[in-house]
Structure 1
Amino acid sequence: MTLQSSPSTFATGLTVLVGLVACALPVWLRVVRWPQLREQHADLAVPFIITTVLFGLLVVSLPTYDSIIPPDAYTLLTLVILAAVLVPWAVFCLRYTGRDHLLTNRRIGVISIVLYLFVTVLILDVTEMLPGSTLLTILLGIGIVGLFGATFAIVGMVLLSTYRDAELPMGQSLAVVLPPVVLMMASQGPGADPTTRTIVNATVLAVATGSLWMAVTRYDVLTRRPGTSRLGLRSVVTEMDEAVLIINTEENIVNANAAATALFGTDIVGESFESVLEQSVSSVRACDTLEYSTTTGTQTFDPRVSRITGGGGQRLGLTITLIDVTDREMRRQRIEVLNRILRHNVRNDLDVVLANSDRISNDEIRSTIKSTLQGTLRLSAKAREAEEVMSTVMTSPEEFDLTALAMAVADEFRSGDPSGDITVEAADIQIVSHQPVVRRILRELVENALKHADTDTPCVTITVRENPDGDTELIVADNGPGIPDLEQEVVADGRETQLKHGRGIGLWFVSWAVTQLGGELEFDQNNPTGSTVTVRLCD
C-alpha cells in the first residue's frame, strides 16, 4: 500500500477515534450536566452543545466525505469544519462575554446561510464548473478572509473580557478559543501529500477536541463567564428606574434606557439634548434640580452628569442620569412651610397669648395655661437650636478634648435647672469630630435623665472611654424610671405613627446627630433602675 495516493488506515482510524471522543462530549453534557445547566445556564449550554455536535459529526464522518474532495484540497478540510461550527460557536462566545445584545434571529439566519453556502462551495469545488468562475473564486477568497477576520475578532473579544475579569483564569478562555484557532492555522499549513495532511488534520482535531473537553471539565465555562460584570453593569443601566441618557461630544443623544423612553414618551435616540429637555447641557450641569413636563405631568429631577473618556483621557461624551425627586422636593417644601409656620407664626401667636394670660382671674387656670405655653415655646426653641447645631455637621471636623467637654456639661447641670448629682468618669481622650454636635448630644441625654427622674436627688453618671475595638464611647447612665420601651422602639424604627410616637424631640435629635456623625446609638437598662445610653463614635 502506498501512502502517497490515499490516507493510511492508521490516520483514518485516528480521525474516527477523535470524532467519537468529540461526539461523546455533547452526549455527556446532555445526559449528565443538563439538569444542572437547564435552569440558569441554558443560554450558554445550548450553543456549546450545538457546536460540539456539529464538530463531532464532521470529524467522525471525515473518511466518508474526504473521498469527494480533490487531493489538493485536503488543506481546506479544517477550514470547512471551522466554517460549519462558526455560527453556534460565535453565539456561545457573544453570550459568554455578555454581548448577546448583538444577536438577533435574522442576523444568525443570514450568516448561517452564507457560511453553509461557503462550505458547500469548498467541499464540491464548484468554482471550476460554473461560468464566471474567476469572479466566484475572488468572492471565495474574500469569504475566507472574512471568516478569518470574524474568528480573530471573536477570539480577541473573549480573551480581552477574561483579562478584564480578575476572578477568571486566562486558561479558561484559552480553552474556548483554541479549537477555532488551531483549525484556522491548520488550513494555512504548507501543502503535503494526502496522508501527511490527514495525520496533521487528525492531530489538530485531537487538540481541538481535548480543548473542548477541558473547557467544560476543568474550567466549567458553562457556569463561569467573564460577561457577568458586563451584564451586571448593563442591567443596572437598562433596568434602573431612573432615566439615563448617553450623549456624544455634539450633545446628541446616542443611547437611552427604557426608563428614559417611558419618561419622554418616545424614542429620543438621535435627537439633540437641548431639543428634548429644552435646556443646554451646560445649564443642566450647573443646576441643582430641573423641572420638565413629562407624560405624567411636571416632574422635578436631580441631574447627575458624568464624563465618558477614552483610554487616553480624551472626552467622548457624557452620561446624564435624571433622578426623579418630585416627591422629595414637595416634601421639602411642605417641611419648610410648616417649619416657618411653627417657628414664626405660631410662636409669635403663643407669645401674644402668654403675654395676655395674666388677665385670667382664676389662678389655677392661669398657671396651667402659662406652664403649657412655656413648655411649647421651649420645645420650639429646642427645635430651632437643634437645627442650628446640626448645620455644623456640614463643616470640617476638628480635634477637641472629649473629657473636658463632658466635665463642662456636668458643671452646667449641677447648678442649672433641672439639676442633680452628676458624676464624670473619664480618661483623657481626644477625638476628631464636630464639637457642638457632640455637646448637644450629651446635653440632651443628661437633661432627659434629669427631667424624667422620679427621685428627689437624681443621679447621672457620664462615662468617657475607649472600647477594645478602639472606638470612643460616651455613656450616660441614670437611676430614674428608664426610657420607655415604646420610645426606644420608635427611635430604632426611625418613624412615628399615630399609635407609636415619642414624647418630644430630644431622643430624635440624639439619633439624628449620632447617625450624621457616623456613630452608633444603643439603649440598655441600668442596674438596679434607670437606663444606660451609649453613643459610640467610630473613627
Structure 2
Amino acid sequence: YRYVNRAHADLYGFDDPEALVGKDWRTLYGESEVERFESEVMPVLREAGEWRGEATGRRKDGREFAQELSLSLTDGGIVCVVRDVTERRERRKRLERYETAMQNIHDGVYTLDAEGRITWINETAIEAFDSGYEREDLVGSFVTKILDDEDVEKCLSLIQELLREDPHGSRWCEIAIQTAYGDEIRCELNLSLRPFEDGEFRGTVGVVRDISGRKRREQQLSVLNRVLRHNLRNELNVIEGNAERLATELDDEHARQARLISKASEQIIDIAETARRIEAVLDRDDATTSVDVAAVVEERCADLRDAHPDATITVETPSERRAIADESLGEAVERLVETAIGNPGAEPVATVTVREADDRMEIRVADGGTGLPRSEIEVLFEDRETPLRHGKGLDMWFVKWLVDSYGGELDFERETPEGSVVVVRLRPASVAG
C-alpha cells in the first residue's frame, strides 16, 4: 500500500491509515482469496485495465466480510475502492433460501415490485393454475394483466392498510385471476409486504390458492339448501294444516294419529327454521361488540316466562356485566332455556346465572333435571354428525357455532347440585382483542 484513506482503514479495523502503508495487500485476504486474485482477477486487470466484482476481505481481528471491490490499473499502480456489502449478501442469501422454499410449497407464490410488476413466480403458480400463460408471459408484466380493476383496488387497499398498521403482517382476500382464455379462476390471496430496503417500499409477496372448486361446491350447496328448505317448509305446512283438520274431523284413534303427524310436521318446520338462522349467523359480518349480558338474560327470560307460564325460570345476575358478543346472544340464551325446560320426564325448571369466573363472563343454564343425553353432548365436541348419534334438532349446534364466532366456548357440567348445566364462556369486554 502506498496510500490509504481513513474510510479504507476503518473498513479493515485499523485506527490509523498509516498502519497499512507499506503492507502487502495479501495480508487483508485469506489464502484461497489471494489465489483467486492472482489466477483470475489480476490477468483480467492487466488486460482490460480494470476489474469489478465481489470478494471476501479479512479485518485486523481476523473477521471476514463481504466486499464489493473496484480495481483500476494506472501508471502509478492499482487504485482500489472497497465497499462493505455484507448486509446485501446476507439479504441475497435469505432471498435465495426463501425462493427455494417457495418453489417447493403447494400454493402459487409471486412477488411484485413497488410499481406492481410481477418480478418472480414459482412453478406451482404456472403448473397448477391453468391460466394460459407461461412464466415469460407474466414476469415483467404489470399485475393488471391477470387482475381486473376491482381486485387491483382491493389489493391496493390491503397494501395501504399493511403499510399503515402492520408492515410485518399479512391480509387475506378473495380475487379472480383473469386467464388468457377469457375466463377466471377464483383464488384466496394471502398478501404481505416485501422486506423494506433503506426504508423504501419494495413491493409485495402473494400466496395464492385455487378455491374455484370450493366456491362451486358452496354455490351448489347453497342452491340445494334454499330449494330444499323452501320446498320442505311449504310441503310440511300443507301436511300440518291437513293433519290438524283431520284431527278435528276423525274419531279418537285417528284423531290422535293426525295430531302426531301435525306435531312431527311442526318439529321439522322448526328444524328448517333453525337451519335458516344458523346459515344467517354463519354468513353475517364479524361485527362483535360490547354487550350487557345481564340485561340480555333478564330480557329474554322475561319473554320466556310469558311464553311458558307453566315453567319456573329463575335468573341470578348482577346489575350489569359486559362481554364480547352481538345481538344474536339473546337467541342463544332463549334456545338454551327452552332446551332446559323442555327435557322430557322432568319438571320445566331452568336457572340462569351470569357471573365472572377465571377472566371470563359465564352464562350458566341449569335444568334441575337429567339434562341432555351424553350422546347429545359428545357429538357437539366431535364437530360432526354420525348416522347413529345425532342431536335432536339443531339448537345446540346453533349455540355452539355462535359462541365460537364470539371467541368464546361452550361447556357442559353434568350431575351437579343444580342438575345438568350448560355453560357459555365469553370474553369480557374490558379484555377483548
Partner residue in 2 for 1:465: 355
Contact 2:246 2:255 in 1 (8 A): no
Whether the 8 Å contact between 1:244 and 1:321 is mirrored in structure 2 is yes
> Is 1:420 equivalent to 2:369 in the alignment?
no
Q: Alignment identity in percent? A: 25
Asked whether the 8 Å contact 1:253–1:273 carries over to 2, the reply is yes
* Cα offset, 1:372, TM superposition: 1.0
Q: Counterparts of 1:425-444 in structure 2 under 5 Å?
A: 425-444=316-335
CA radius of gyration, larger in = 1
- Cα distance in 2, alignment partners of residues 348 and 383 from structure 1: 15
**Equivalents in 1 of 2:93, 2:348: separation in Å?**
62
C-alpha root-mean-square deviation of aligned residues, in Å?
A: 4.2
1:99-248 alignment to 2 at 5 Å?
A: 114-115=36-37, 117-118=39-40, 138=46, 142=50, 146=53, 149-151=54-56, 178-179=63-64, 234=99, 237-248=102-113
Q: Give the residue type in structure 2 aligned to 1:506.
A: D
Decide whether the 8 Å contact of 2:148 with 2:178 is kept in 1. no
- Unaligned ranges ≥5, structure 2: 1-21, 70-89, 155-173
Instruction: Say which of 373, 391, 406 aligns to 2:265.
Output: 373
Amino acid paired to 1:374: E
SS at structure 2 position matched to 1:241: coil
CA distance in 1 between counterparts of 2:301 and 2:327 reads: 15
Distance, in Å, in 2 between the alignment partners of 1:264 and 1:514 is 38
Which runs of 5 or more residues in structure 1 are unaligned? 1-72, 87-111, 122-134, 156-173, 185-224
Report what 2:294 is aligned to: 403
Partner of 1:483: 372
2:225 to 339, 352, 362: 339
Paired residue for 2:216? 330
Change beyond 3 A, Cα 1:356–1:294: farther
Question: Structure 1 residue 490: deviation in Å?
Answer: 1.6
Higher relative contact order (CA 8 A, sep 6+): 1
Q: How does 1:518-533 map to 2 (within 5 A)?
A: 518-527=407-416, 530-533=419-422
Cα deviations by residue, 1:69-99 (Å, 9 ceiling, x for unpaired): xxxx9825535x625158xxxxxxxxxxxxx
**C-alpha distance in structure 2 between counterparts of 1:425 and 1:229, whole Å:** 60
Q: 1:319 to 1:136 in 2, by over 3 A?
A: closer
Return the offset for 1:472: 0.9
Which position in structure 2 is the counterpart of 1:82? Answer: 30
How many residues align? The count is: 359
Measured after TM superposition, the shift of residue 305 of structure 1 is 4.9
Is the contact between residue 323 and residue 361 of structure 2 (CA under 8 Å) also seen in structure 1? Answer: no
From the two aligned structures, give the one with the greater helix fraction.
1
- Paired AA for residue 434 in structure 1: A
Q: What does residue 254 of structure 1 align with?
A: 119
- Structure 1 residues 397 and 528, CA, compared in 2 at 3 Å: closer, same or farther? closer
Cα gap change, 1:466/1:343 in structure 2, threshold over 3 Å: closer, same or farther?
A: same
Per-residue CA distance 1:407-450 (angstroms, 9 max, x = gap): 22222333424852222222233314334222122111111111
Q: TM-score, normalising length from structure 2?
A: 0.68
3-state SS of paired residue (1:497): coil
Structure 1 residue 392 displacement after superposition = 5.9
Give the whole-Å Cα distance in 1 for the aligned partners of 2:369 and 2:228. Answer: 32
Residue 234 of structure 2 is matched in structure 1 by: 348
Aligned-pair distance for 1:244?
Answer: 1.5
- Distance verdict in 2 for CA 1:275–1:248, change over 3 Å: closer
